[in-house]
Amino acid sequence: MKKTVFIFTLTIVLALMFVTTAPAGTALKRILKKGELVVGIAGSQPPLNATTKTGEIIGLDADIAKLIAMNLDVKLKFAAMPFPELLPALKTGKVDMIISSMTMTTARNRKVAFVGPYFVSGKGILTNNQTAASLQDAEGLNNPELTVAALKDSTSQTFVEKTAPKAKLMKIKSYDEAIELLSKGKINALIADYPFCAFTAFRYRDKGLIAGQAQLTFEPLGIAVPEDTLLINLLQNFLATLNGTGQLKKLNERWFKDGSWIKELP
């Protein structure tokens, strides 16, 4: 009887291992077989990723995706969607990877693998109030009379919940929505990636938008991928080469120092 129970238990364990552990190279082979790399991206987080007047996805994230596809010798397809939909799309196989200003957090890493960082960011404050812009941390926003917006299911939302729990949190689907609300005075501040805040304040300075002068957190951005060791190893080597050859530095200068691309935005 004990032997039978042992064999039955062992069979279940082996079956679970077979179901939950994908063979190395499964995701990579799928990409190569179809000859196309589908990258999930928000397309609304400049200068990391943005959508032009003609509908083209541009930015640092987009350039990295193009180089990955070129190195794999496959076509590139961007799957643009709201930020909260990106991880579910990866988990269900709708996209092959995510390159969209996504911070590598422990919570996310429990669900998907990450390769990076390819860029280190931090939280910033975008507001129309000079006092709020001068804050060195978010404690000054911890006021029940203030409404603070953050992208739904983002590290910005978590940051507000932890550091400014008394403030009214508005969960938004896109940054375009937040800019509109801020311009109309319906929210007091937006917590977002610092590069986005700085860029938006510069672009919409005629609307009285101001970016905080300090980065409030440490945010390493990475590429989210399925649990495929071969694909992960390939991307690790790719980023190491991109950094070692100086290409990554040039891409950063292109999107963070040269503002000529701004005229392409709607």
Place of tokens 């062992």: 10
Helix, strand, coil in percent for the chain, rounding step 5: 45, 20, 30
Domain for residue 14, yes or no? no
Structure tokens, 222:
């990475």
Domain for residue 113, yes or no? yes
The domain containing residue 65 runs over which residues? 24-121+219-257
Q: Are residues 63 and 137 in the same domain?
A: no
Looking from the CA of 216 toward its CB, the CA atoms found within 13 Å total: 29
Name, in order, each residue with C-beta under 8 angstroms of 76's C-beta and a sequence gap of 6 or more.
36, 37, 39, 65, 66, 68, 69
Q: Are residues 239 and 204 in the same domain?
A: no
Output 215 or 120, whichever has higher pLDDT: 120
> For residue 207, what pLDDT is reported?
85
Q: Are residues 96 and 138 in the same domain?
A: no
Q: Are residues 71 and 134 in the same domain?
A: no
Q: Are residues 97 and 75 in the same domain?
A: yes
pLDDT in tens, 169-202: 999 988 889 899 998 889 999 999 999 999 999 8
The pTM of the full predicted model, rounded to 2 decimals, is 0.83
Neighbours of 173 (CB within 10 A): 16
How many domains would you assign to the chain?
Answer: 2
- Residue 140 confidence class, pLDDT cut points 50, 70, 90: confident
Q: Are residues 134 and 74 in the same domain?
A: no
> For residue 215, what pLDDT is reported?
86
> For residue 205, what pLDDT is reported?
84
- Residue 246 confidence class, pLDDT cut points 50, 70, 90: very high
- Residue 61 sits at the vertex; the CA angle it makes with 56 and 62, to the nearest 5 degrees, is 30
Q: Mean pLDDT score of the chain, rounded to an integer?
A: 88
Q: Are residues 75 and 35 in the same domain?
A: yes
Structure tokens, 24:
């190395």
